[in-house]
Structure 1
Amino acid sequence: MDELYAEAHHWEVNTGGETIHAKRMPGKWRRIKWLAASVWLIFFLGPYVQWNGRQAVLFDIPNRQYHLFGVTVLPQDFWMLSLLLLFFAILLAVATALAGRVYCGYFCFQTVWTDVFTWIEERLEGSPPQRRKLDKAPVDARKLRIKVLKHAIWLVIGFLTGFSFVAWFYGAGPLWRDFFVGGANAAVYASVALFTFGTYLLAGWLREQVCFWLCPYARIQGVMLDKSTVVPAYDVARGEPRGRVKKGDLEETRTTGDCVDCNQCVAVCPTGVDIRNGQQEGCITCGLCIDACNAVMDKVGRPRGLIRYASLDELEGQSVKPMLLRPRVWVYTAILALALSGIIYGLSTLAAIELKVLHERAPLYVQLSDGSIQNKYTLKILNKSETDLKVEISAEAPVPLTLMGAEEPIAVKHGEVTPAIVFIKIGRSDLDGERLPVTFVATTQLPDGTQVSAERENAFFGPSR
């Protein structure tokens, strides 16, 4: 318990009492961080990608249609969304189990936006010491000009974030047409305003405080790690005891470890933690401390890797279990495969029309004056295409039947469910039992000439023999 208290005592947790101005240093992990962050360009540019004359990906909530390139998903097929959410949730768990908060460090929108905001801050205000000096300086014309320009750029980025988000749901073209002339609805303006000031507040002001106190993932990621998880780690055995490098020191007479106590690993950390005190809540696994430490090791002529991606087992000199021998990897992989298979199956089996058949229960059947038996059915035809269709209905059974109520094609509007009532009549002499299978078939022709159909089996009921 004393050891745990001592370790926690050295954790660096900034509670918002000071603004962290992280130093920027070039390096391998900084380049990877920028490349990973560039994935978010899809968020801004995606709404402008066209597919067959319309926006390639459009979540059309008012019309309850979700267009994904050549596929249109309706609410009836939204079970695939559950599988998609499950897929990404498990993928996040896999990434955390294998490499800690790697999502936070490289892909999280909060981390990426904060990185962009602080990059702008550095371009305008200078290095971290210069920024701290400017913050403490009295307000004059120069400070006011720099601060106003910085916050204006932050607000513009926030506005573009909100505008791009709404474009995925409203349509990029219609949004540009309606937004600036007051033609959009109140929900559009409210959403853009919320994202504008939310982005400005979270990425510009709260920054790492979101990672510490607001993000639920930061609270649960600790239970996903184990001794085999690879995270940025300080090699205590190699680095301690720390000591400054002095001119004239000889390697063979050196009594200190490789850590020269330069604090560059702390200076570049976007959350202000000292990785030398062990893995802690504030570490977002971005690897920037590795770049800083490697640069210092190069200068003092010592091997790289004092801070590196490593597991606790590796640092303790224990054998590292291969990834494929870890049970949790197999469990996660199986869940991912099942979820992905379900999504692929759902997308591949989407049809232009869907048919459901409801049998009338009261009465179950009616005997007509000619002795034949009649059953009543309610058909529900869902048009998943983007155009109105004319659907023809037919029915099949092992015995001759007469279908009534579907002599003419049924007009079905796109994206809607159209009900239709039909009757089936079968001669009493043709019934050899109380129940007979009946198959309804809905057939239509799409605008491109493609013939599509949907089938649904039901039952025909009659009196007992």
Structure 2
Amino acid sequence: MDAQKPQISADNVQEIYDETVHWHVNLGDETIHAKRMPGRFRKLKWFSASLWLIFFIGPYLRWGGQQAILFDIPDRQFHLFAITVHPQDVWMLSLVLILMAMILFGVTAIAGRVFCGYFCFQTIWTDVFTLIEEKIEGPPAQRRKLEKAPLSLVKARKKLLKHSLWLAIAVLTGMTFAAYFTDAFQLWRDVFTLNAHIIAYIVLLMFTLGTYFLAGYLREQVCFWLCPYARIQGVMYDKDTLLPTYDVERGEPRGKLKADNKELGDCIDCRMCVAVCPTGVDIRNGQQEGCITCGLCIDACDSIMDKVGRNKGLIRYASLREMAGEVVKSPLKRPRVLVYAAIMLFAFGGILYGLTNIAPIDWHILHQRQPLYTVMSDGSVQNRYTFKILNKTEQAMQVRISTAGVEGLEVSGIDELMTLKADKLVPFNVDVRARPAQLPHEHTPITFVLKDINHPDRVFTRESVIIRPPR
């Protein structure tokens, strides 16, 4: 009888995984030249990378005769198409940050570091830089050979072309980032005519050099040593997290392909999974810090399994619970995933409400504290208030301000009809005078009412008090 492959029980799968984690981390003493292979996860990476075209297109979009997306720091405004967000609406920024954090946490809990593998700008830019390197210098074996070769005219020409293209992409990245903070077309004119502000040149230089060195030289070292998100996400896995996983029970013991050896597993030790990994990880040694869950090792292994006539899935997205033969939990039955989802819905709802209900004005009324009131010579009591009104629209606004809550008040400092300039903060003082008999309490509530003359539906109120001396 032919010898059968030894079986591995579900009870000792965890022990086997623990024993296989003897992985090696590249400390930067060698350059990783990952092999490129076609496959579904490679296509997915290119699709996600194409989404970054929005970054390059964004500053050049126009809306209503101006830049559609603009962080106008000098005027303290953020323009997003027809929406203008002012510092007074900064609470929405907090919700945006919460939403992004919860998306990161939720996705990581379900499918690991897919953000790192598919959407991180460091990953995408590095992928593009290495693609250029491959097109100019050849596949990994040729690139390694070229690195060791002495300087020659051919080597110099290839290196010059490669680095020129890298720098061009880096400059474009820096210019695009800077363009979000000023008029994009004017920025290009000012930079190349040497009329740009010194800050623009500093930002351009920082992003150009940062992109060039991070994507061209440091590459995976950024993921290993510089990126804080890698550390955060790395501790958020649990037994239900889907990760690129090597099926130990099916693959071991590994060995070269031999038709007459029934004791070997399906892994033929071709190391193709290592060759395609952008961070140099050997996924067969267990889940590792360097794994960015991009799935390229799955493409590589599946292609080899096709060639040798074995089933795909030796390396696949799977959870530790699945590898242990346990029942896999649905994300809808995982409490922390539900908590993340609830917080995401709350944050998204708040942002949506804020964007669709941004008030056209923002105003504050401060009661003067020194003195709280002034007793006039005729016995009346006068209170002073400081008004600060911001017209957040792009047109001048005519308004009328009145009081309510107390009858017969005398108000000075407010014109019968006021004009609020567009995008301008108007501060002024208002005096309110009343007879003591009109004020039943030492602190009598009073309401200030602001009405937009051209838009009768725009009525805004602010509550305050009018103070008199004790009787």
TM-score bracket for the superposition, by shorter chain length: over 0.9
Name the CA distance, whole Å, in 2 between partners of 1:450 and 1:41. Answer: 44
Cross-structure match for 1:49: 61
Name the CA distance, whole Å, in 2 between partners of 1:176 and 1:271. Answer: 36
Partners of 1:355 and 1:382 within 8 A in 2? yes
**Secondary structure in 2 aligned to 1:267?**
helix
Cross-structure match for 2:400: 392
Cross-structure match for 1:345: 353
**Secondary structure in 2 aligned to 1:212?**
helix
Tell me how far 1:408 sits from its aligned partner. Answer: 4.5
Cross-structure match for 2:177: 165
Tell me how far 1:306 sits from its aligned partner. Answer: 0.5
Cross-structure match for 1:291: 299
Partners of 1:355 and 1:454 within 8 A in 2? no
Cross-structure match for 2:81: 69
Q: Does the alignment pair 1:301 with 2:309?
A: yes
The structure 2 residue matched to 1:109, chosen from 110, 118, 121, is 121
Partners of 2:88 and 2:362 within 8 A in 1? no
Q: Does the alignment pair 1:454 with 2:460?
A: yes
**Secondary structure in 1 aligned to 2:43?**
helix
Name the CA distance, whole Å, in 2 between partners of 1:262 and 1:4. Answer: 20
Q: Does the alignment pair 1:316 with 2:320?
A: no
Q: Does the alignment pair 1:59 with 2:71?
A: yes
**Secondary structure in 1 aligned to 2:177?**
helix
Q: Does the alignment pair 1:37 with 2:71?
A: no
Name the CA distance, whole Å, in 2 between partners of 1:7 and 1:361. Answer: 71
Name the CA distance, whole Å, in 1 between partners of 2:252 and 2:322. Answer: 17
Cross-structure match for 2:141: 129
Tell me how far 1:91 sits from its aligned partner. Answer: 1.1
Q: Provide Cα deviations, 1:1-20, integer angstroms capped at 9, x if missing partner.
A: x9898544x30211111111
Name the CA distance, whole Å, in 1 between partners of 2:202 and 2:91. Answer: 29
Name the CA distance, whole Å, in 1 between partners of 2:88 and 2:304. Answer: 58
Query: Structure 2 regions of 5+ residues with no counterpart?
Result: 1-14
Tell me how far 1:112 sits from its aligned partner. Answer: 0.2
The structure 2 residue matched to 1:259, chosen from 253, 262, 267, is 267
Tell me how far 1:376 sits from its aligned partner. Answer: 1.4
Q: Does the alignment pair 1:217 with 2:229?
A: yes
Q: TM-score, normalised by structure 2?
A: 0.92
The structure 1 residue matched to 2:445, chosen from 437, 441, 461, is 437
Cross-structure match for 1:120: 132
Tell me how far 1:57 sits from its aligned partner. Answer: 1.1
Name the CA distance, whole Å, in 2 between partners of 1:261 and 1:336. Answer: 43
Name the CA distance, whole Å, in 1 between partners of 2:85 and 2:146. Answer: 53
Cross-structure match for 1:329: 337
Q: Does the alignment pair 1:379 with 2:387?
A: yes
Aligned-residue Cα RMSD (Å) equals 2.0
Q: Provide Cα deviations, 1:368-427, integer angstroms capped at 9, x if missing partner.
A: 344433221111111222344444322222423222111254454443422111122233
**Secondary structure in 2 aligned to 1:169?**
coil
Q: TM-score, normalised by structure 1?
A: 0.93
Partners of 2:400 and 2:453 within 8 A in 1? no
Tell me how far 1:227 sits from its aligned partner. Answer: 0.9
Name the CA distance, whole Å, in 2 between partners of 1:331 and 1:5. Answer: 30
Name the CA distance, whole Å, in 1 between partners of 2:31 and 2:99. Answer: 37
- Residue 39 of structure 1 aligns with an amino acid whose one-letter code is L
Cross-structure match for 1:277: 285
Name the CA distance, whole Å, in 2 between partners of 1:450 and 1:396. Answer: 18
Q: Does the alignment pair 1:200 with 2:200?
A: no
Query: Structure 1 regions of 5+ residues with no counterpart?
Result: none
Name the CA distance, whole Å, in 1 between partners of 2:26 and 2:262. Answer: 35
Partners of 1:65 and 1:415 within 8 A in 2? no
Tell me how far 1:184 sits from its aligned partner. Answer: 1.1
Tell me how far 1:31 sits from its aligned partner. Answer: 0.4
Partners of 2:406 and 2:438 within 8 A in 1? no
Tell me how far 1:87 sits from its aligned partner. Answer: 1.2
Q: Does the alignment pair 1:405 with 2:413?
A: yes
**Distance change (3 Å), C-alpha of 1:391 and 1:173:** farther
Name the CA distance, whole Å, in 1 between partners of 2:234 and 2:438. Answer: 70
Q: Does the alignment pair 1:368 with 2:380?
A: no
- Residue 22 of structure 1 aligns with an amino acid whose one-letter code is A
Name the CA distance, whole Å, in 2 between partners of 1:358 and 1:387. Answer: 26
Which shifted more, 380-389 or 217-226?
Answer: 380-389
Partners of 1:353 and 1:453 within 8 A in 2? no
**Secondary structure in 1 aligned to 2:193?**
coil
Partners of 2:110 and 2:241 within 8 A in 1? yes
Partners of 1:84 and 1:343 within 8 A in 2? yes
Cross-structure match for 2:12: none
Counterpart mapping for 1:85-96 below 5 A? 85-96=97-108
The percent identity for this pair of structures is 57
Cross-structure match for 1:142: 154
Name the CA distance, whole Å, in 1 between partners of 2:456 and 2:77. Answer: 21
Q: Provide Cα deviations, 1:160-211, integer angstroms capped at 9, x if missing partner.
A: 0000000111121221221211121011011111111111100011111111
